[in-house]
Amino acid sequence: MKTNFSDAQMNASAIKIANDILRKCVHCGFCLATCPTYVILGNELDSPRGRIYQIRDMLERDLSRPASKQSYKEEKTAKHIDRCLSCLSCMTTCPSGVDYMHLVDHARGVIEKNYTRPLPERLLRLMLSVVLPNAKLFRLSLVMARLMRPVAKYMPGRLRVLVEMAPKRIPSQNQVDVPGTTKALGIKKLRVGLMPGCAQKTLNPEINAATVRLLTRLGADVVVVDGVGCCGALVHHMGMEEKAIIQAKENISAWMGEIQSEGLDAIVINASGCGTTVKDYGHMLKDDPDWAASGAKVSSLARDISEILLEMGTEAIASRVIEINEKPIVAYHSACSMQHGQNLKTQPLELLQAAGFSVREPKEPHLCCGSAGTYNIMQPNLADKLGKRKMENISATKSDIIATGNIGCMVQLANHGNMPVAHTVQLLDWATGGPKPVI
């Protein structure tokens, strides 16, 4: 793709990177068939190729003028970029290696700084950025949502979606999320840090509990480091780059303290959306001389739970499998952040099979379920269509339970079907001696 950035623009590191990414696009269109929004809407502007053109045009324009003079182009560009799920299916498909993830992330930051959204939109985004990363505020919001359920149908669209998505039961906090170390059972093989997360430990704390049980059973000391909080993905994908950087630095500082004192062999993450972001800390902080090295170090240690379990060996799982009457048939849903963001496609399947489960994959496994962080809140109509489409394909597998590796997907799938949904690690924990998942 041809670009026309000025010499002054090219002095900026972000524009240099964007220019290199844009020039790799050869307009082939392979991305169209795998883009969820293009599949649903059939609009070129809602495809990766169409968005790349819009991003190029936006970055080449002079965005330094006052917000009051913004043109229709900025509003239109924001509309189509907002519709992007950041599922990154296009990156898996692209034969030219276009780094769409970093391009669209940069575009969102530019939009956030230079485009003034309507007031209701700004308020919603502000609320999400404050409440969701804060476990205490998030728990309080869920309690309030439960109280509002009886009148949810009378609420305007997005507020209604927020209330209806809230779980009927809010579990109590699990002790494994408190900073401290859980020792390995038997011979210690590894010492790993566990990212407790923010929304996940509120919505389903049993995922972390199952992770700790499984890892310690296989010989790992598991450390929850004080000071580790939200990974920053939520605000990062809303273009709030400064907030994302602050959250990233807080986590890096906490983990580096542990790395330099007791040492960590890996940082284990059991929410694939968080994993994709933590693995990108090195890129996010590459231009910061004070943080680049430590950001890269943390990224190099980040592992999805499926990766670290495979590094410990499938035989370690298989050797501990207990007898379970009528073991369920599992439909495996690969989260986009898992298969496209981290290129982890077969690892969870191998682990489930090693644990003795019969595993089935649905049609269109590359298409997003519509969760995508806050997408099902910000774009409820598109998310609903994708959720229904995904559940139709999963239901066709005639399985008994769905396994996936991301809390957002778990919530989205549970809200669009009647099949029980569990995290992959919950099933692996059960198969090797842990409790049966409470669905």
- pLDDT tens for residues 374-420? 999 999 999 999 999 999 999 999 999 999 999 999 999 999 999 99
Per-residue model confidence (pLDDT) at position 159 = 74
- Residue 281 shares a structural domain with residue 338: no
pLDDT at 268 over 70: yes
Q: Is residue 57 part of a domain?
A: yes
Contact 310, 351 (CB under 8 A): yes
**Based on the structure, what is the number of domains in the chain?**
4
Q: How confident is the model at residue 326 (pLDDT cuts 50, 70, 90)?
A: confident
Contact 173, 201 (CB under 8 A): yes
Q: Which of 205, 209, 104 is nearest to 429 (CA)?
A: 209
CA–CA distance from 341 to each of 89, 107, 183 (Å)?
A: 8, 18, 31
Its pTM stands at 0.92
In what order do the strands lie in the sheet containing 302-304? 180-182, 220-224, 190-194, 266-269, 302-304
Q: Is residue 439 part of a domain?
A: no
Q: Is residue 336 part of a domain?
A: yes
- Average confidence (pLDDT) over 327-332: 96
| CA 394 – CA 402 distance, rounded (Å) | 8
Instruction: Tell me which of 95, 114, 133 is where a domain ends.
Output: 114
pLDDT at 432 over 90: yes
Instruction: Tell me which of 243, 278, 310 is where a domain ends.
Output: 310
Average pLDDT score over the chain: 92
Per-residue model confidence (pLDDT) at position 174 = 83
Q: What percent of the chain has pLDDT over 90?
A: 80
- Residue 179 shares a structural domain with residue 305: yes
- Residue 147 shares a structural domain with residue 181: no
SS3 for 222? strand
- Residue 305 shares a structural domain with residue 350: no
The DSSP element (H or E) to which 298 belongs, if any, is helix 292-301
Per-residue model confidence (pLDDT) at position 173 = 80
Instruction: Tell me which of 281, 310, 339 is where a domain ends.
Output: 310
Per-residue buried b or exposed e for 293-327, using 16+ beta carbons within 10 Å of the residue's own CB: ebbbbbbebbbbbbbbbbebeeebbeeebeeeeeb
Per-residue model confidence (pLDDT) at position 70 = 54
Q: Is residue 211 part of a domain?
A: yes
| CA 301 – CA 77 distance, rounded (Å) | 36
Q: Is residue 406 part of a domain?
A: yes
- Residue 333 shares a structural domain with residue 262: no
| CA 332 – CA 285 distance, rounded (Å) | 34
The enclosing domain of 31 has a CATH number of 1.10.1060.10
pLDDT at 69 over 50: no
Joined together, the tokens standing for residue 402 give 């769905």
Joined together, the tokens standing for residue 272 give 């694939």
Which DSSP letter does residue 342 get? S
SS3 string, 232-246, reads: CHHHHCCCCHHHHHH
CA–CA distance from 97 to each of 5, 25, 93, 199, 364 (Å)?
A: 21, 8, 9, 33, 22
SS3 for 156? coil
- Average confidence (pLDDT) over 281-310: 97
- Residue 106 shares a structural domain with residue 28: yes
- pLDDT tens for residues 5-16? 988 889 988 999
- Average confidence (pLDDT) over 370-377: 93
**Residue type for 421, please?**
V
Q: Is residue 52 part of a domain?
A: yes
Per-residue model confidence (pLDDT) at position 68 = 46
- Residue 340 shares a structural domain with residue 410: yes
**Residue type for 76, please?**
K
Tell me which residue range forms the domain holding 230: 175-310
Q: Is residue 437 part of a domain?
A: no
Which DSSP letter does residue 134 get? -
- Residue 147 shares a structural domain with residue 200: no
- Residue 22 shares a structural domain with residue 80: yes
Strand-strand pairing, 190-194 and 266-269: parallel
- Residue 189 shares a structural domain with residue 301: yes
- pLDDT tens for residues 105-160? 999 999 999 888 999 899 999 999 999 999 889 888 888 888 787 777 777 667 77
The enclosing domain of 385 has a CATH number of 3.40.50.1860
Per-residue model confidence (pLDDT) at position 227 = 95
pLDDT at 67 over 60: no
- Residue 233 shares a structural domain with residue 220: yes
Q: Which of 200, 82, 158 is nearest to 384 (CA)?
A: 158
Q: How confident is the model at residue 48 (pLDDT cuts 50, 70, 90)?
A: very high
**Residue type for 335, please?**
A
| CA 149 – CA 307 distance, rounded (Å) | 39
Lowest-confidence region among 79-93, 133-147, 208-222, 284-298: 133-147
**Dihedral sign (CA 37, 42, 46, 47):** positive
Please state the φ and ψ torsions of residue 269, each to the nearest 5 degrees.
-130, 130
Per-residue model confidence (pLDDT) at position 146 = 80
What's CA 317's distance to the chain center, in Å? 26
Q: What percent of the chain has pLDDT over 70?
A: 97
**Residue type for 381, please?**
N
Q: Is residue 400 part of a domain?
A: yes
- Residue 305 shares a structural domain with residue 189: yes
